[in-house]
Amino acid sequence: MPFSRGGASRALFLATAGLSAAVGLLATAAPSPAQPAPSGATITADLTLDEQGVLQVSERVSVPDGGSFRMVLPLRLQITDDAERVFEVTDVHTEGAATANVADDQFTMESHPGESSFRYAIHNTVDEAPGTQVFHWLGVLNTDIASIDAALISPSFEMGIVDCKLGPPAAAKPCANVRVEPDGVLALQQTDLHKGDAIDLTMQIPPGTVPSNADVRDSGAAGPFSVTTPVLVAFGVLVLALVAVAVLVVLRRKRATADSDATQTIDPLLRDGDRVQFTSPDGVLPGAAGVLLDEQVDPVDIAATVVDLAVRRYIWVTPLSDKDWRITRVNAPDDQLRAYEKVVYETLLPEGTDTVTVAELRAPGRVLSDPVRTAMRQDAVEHGNFVDHRRVGVPVWLGGGLILVGIIVAIALALTSGHALVGVAIALGGVASLALPKFLPLRTTRGEHLCAQVRALQRGLEATRREQIPPVDQETVFSRGLPFMLIGGRVDNWIRGFRDMDPTADAQPGLYWFGGFERDRNLHRFAGHFPFFITALESAFTAAGDPHR
């Protein structure tokens, strides 16, 4: 069975396979160990190292009567604990009572008594050493061999050091008859080889004589995706870049929310003589304001839009019970409505439908929120309050470019110098660039300014007292301010501040947009009923799996 002795400075040239071809290594013979060696097989081998670095072997085997011949050449040889040498055998031909095949990383030859011949080629046999190329035969005999007569021809007539050892692996001695002929042929003759003997032949040839094609696989060596110094530098740069991006995101977020702590207040009351009207900054609507505040469309933003449509006399809300309400068409959508408001209106009351109950809106299988959410986000983009992510910006171009460059660099380095993880680091930088817009505020500069004004309006609403408003205008101001307080989660306080308001002060019974309490002279019952309506309405516009459900 073959064994390895090569190190870093001596590469295997043939590693069992070449010598075995010439000397019948790993052969098994029929005679028992007690029989004399001369009764063994005789082998004559001609080996030629061609200009492509492929070893061409022609071997003639003579097996005596009653004997047999079997040779097994391993095509993978362990050199060190972490490295192995891999060979390839091709162009196999046999004559006489001989068979040969390659299977399971082994090359096996067999012959019965008589004359047989084998021809084959061994690849990956040439390795480099400092200032030379090395030819190294190594193998162990598995049978007694009567005689060996082998000759090796190389493209160079100049051969360097030849070292040949023969005998038991632990006590090998110099070969008796190995020489380099004047014509550059290496000749080896040996008789009386015994089962278990090892033969170790090393020969040097001038550098560049043949292409170096040895296939040495070192599992302990750094692979193309190993962590190396250039890789650590690349990932260090990536980490620094990610830290810088994180700082940028935090600063942008702080700037975007800085106005939430501001003390600016916008008075929602516009006075004209002894009358008062409600006003909002830049005419912003409650639903759009809710989207602007937290950069997402929540069910409460849609509910606030429904209430605002009622307040502006497009629909009418009537309680049917403590758990259901009827929504009735009053006025058709017109040019006074924004696009997203029309979507909300048509979601509630499609063409041909004049009334709908909240219970019907909440029926299983109905999905109301998706088109509304899309329309409300689009409204924020169209009015310049949100960044349009559908447009390809610098982060997308930069991210896509870095990913492409990273892939190319990783492949190129993996096939050449290694350090392929440098390319992975570049590609990860591209992924971070693509993801960056998702972490930055959606609001544009205009959107941030308007968002600050909405917060100032909410502070103004919280400071508003019913007593500041003439009785005739209290119902209108209360109704117009209600959806704005709804999106801020302060609707209970707003209703509580107006609960003693007389809704008949405008000469009309009850709230003009919400039925069921026409005989009341205050909002006490409305205050206890309205939150249930809002909860049911939000539920109708909450999609399955929605985090706000």
- Looking at residue 286, its pLDDT comes to 96
345, part of any domain: yes
The pLDDT > 90 percentage for the chain reads 41
Question: What is the tally of helices (H) and strands (E) in the chain?
Answer: 13, 22
For residue 12, pLDDT over 70 is answered with: no
306, part of any domain: yes
423, part of any domain: yes
Q: What is the pLDDT confidence band of residue 326, given thresholds at 50, 70 and 90?
A: very high
The pLDDT > 70 percentage for the chain reads 85
436, part of any domain: yes
85, part of any domain: yes
For residue 23, pLDDT over 50 is answered with: no
Same domain, 468 and 326: yes
The domain that contains 123 carries what CATH number?
2.60.40
| Half-sphere exposure in the Cβ direction for 490 (13 Å, CA) | 17
516, part of any domain: yes
Q: Are 323 and 356 in contact (CB under 8 A)?
A: no
Same domain, 425 and 490: no
- Looking at residue 16, its pLDDT comes to 32
For residue 413, pLDDT over 70 is answered with: yes
pTM for this prediction? 0.56
Q: What is the pLDDT confidence band of residue 495, given thresholds at 50, 70 and 90?
A: very high
Same domain, 214 and 227: no
Same domain, 494 and 436: no
Q: Residues for the chain: how many in total?
A: 549
Same domain, 383 and 397: no
Same domain, 203 and 246: no
Q: Which of 406, 441, 476 is the last residue of a domain?
A: 441
250, part of any domain: yes
Residue 48, classed as helix, strand or coil, is strand
Same domain, 79 and 166: yes
Same domain, 232 and 91: no
pLDDT digits (tens, 9 = 90+) for 279-302: 999 999 999 999 999 889 999 999
Q: What is the pLDDT confidence band of residue 337, given thresholds at 50, 70 and 90?
A: very high
Token couple for 161: 């050091």
- Looking at residue 419, its pLDDT comes to 85
201 vs 192: CA distance, rounded Å: 18
Mean pLDDT of 466-482: 94
A 10 A CB-CB count for 436 gives 18
CA 413 → CA 61, 81, 402, 431, distances in Å?
Answer: 49, 27, 16, 20
For residue 260, pLDDT over 60 is answered with: no
- Looking at residue 157, its pLDDT comes to 61
Amino acid identity of residue 37, one-letter, is A
Q: What is the pLDDT confidence band of residue 424, given thresholds at 50, 70 and 90?
A: very high
Token couple for 330: 């009053």
Same domain, 320 and 257: no
- Looking at residue 161, its pLDDT comes to 62
Same domain, 485 and 377: yes
Q: Are 505 and 471 in contact (CB under 8 A)?
A: yes
Distance, C-alpha 126 to centroid of its chain: 40
Domain count, the chain: 3
Domain around 25: 17-218
315, part of any domain: yes
Q: What is the pLDDT confidence band of residue 37, given thresholds at 50, 70 and 90?
A: very low
Q: Which of 409, 424, 441 is the last residue of a domain?
A: 441
- Tell me the pLDDT of the chain averaged across its residues: 82
Same domain, 421 and 518: no
For residue 390, pLDDT over 70 is answered with: no
- Looking at residue 160, its pLDDT comes to 60
Among 23-32, 169-178, 352-361, 503-512, which is the least confidently predicted range?
A: 23-32
Same domain, 118 and 198: yes
